[in-house]
Amino acid sequence: EVQLVESGGVVVQPGGSLRLSCAASGFTFDDYTMHWVRQAPGKGLEWVSLISWDGGSTYYADSVKGRFTISRDNSKNSLYLQMNSLRTEDTALYYCAKDDGDGYNLDYWGQGTLVTVSS
């Protein structure tokens, strides 16, 4: 059974930094591209970033480019999101999601970790 468990969400002040983690199990982690998607309270879904199976390719939404860095450790079956220069508009539930292998869809999602940016 595929499991994705996010952690690291806390309350942080504007301008602060935070690192989210996602522990993966139930599939061959290093075979798949992985994603971060966020959802502001009461709002819709916003794709944030992806990283290829080997970490060699990364992409970001314009809203986080230059501030967030995605990474992975295939030896630990773990995905990360380093978040710097946080803004109040970054407040959201952050989901870790697995790519389905085709590169177009996200077929498994974690339950999310809540990041609140507030003074």
Partner 1 sequence: EIVLTQSPGTLSLSPGERATLSCRASQSVSSSYLAWYQQKPGQAPRLLIYGASSRATGIPDRFSGSGSGTDFTLTISRLEPEDFAVYYCQQYGSSRYTFGQGTKLEIK
CA angle 43-58-25, nearest 5°?
A: 75
d(CA 119, CA 99): 35
Question: Which of the ranges 9-17, 37-45, 66-74, 78-86 carries the binding residues for partner 1, by CB under 8 A?
Answer: 37-45
- Within a 10 A sphere around the Cβ of 19, how many other Cβ atoms? 13
3-state helix, strand, coil in the chain (%, to 5): 10, 50, 40
Minimum CB distance to partner 1 smaller for 80 or for 95: 95
Binding-residue total with partner 1 (CB under 8 A): 23
Site string for partner 1, 96-115 (x = CB under 8 A): ----x-xxxxxxxxxxx---
Regarding 72 and contact with partner 1 (CB under 8 A), the answer is no
Contact positions vs partner 1 (CB under 8 A)? 35, 37, 44-47, 50, 57, 59, 61, 95, 100, 102-112
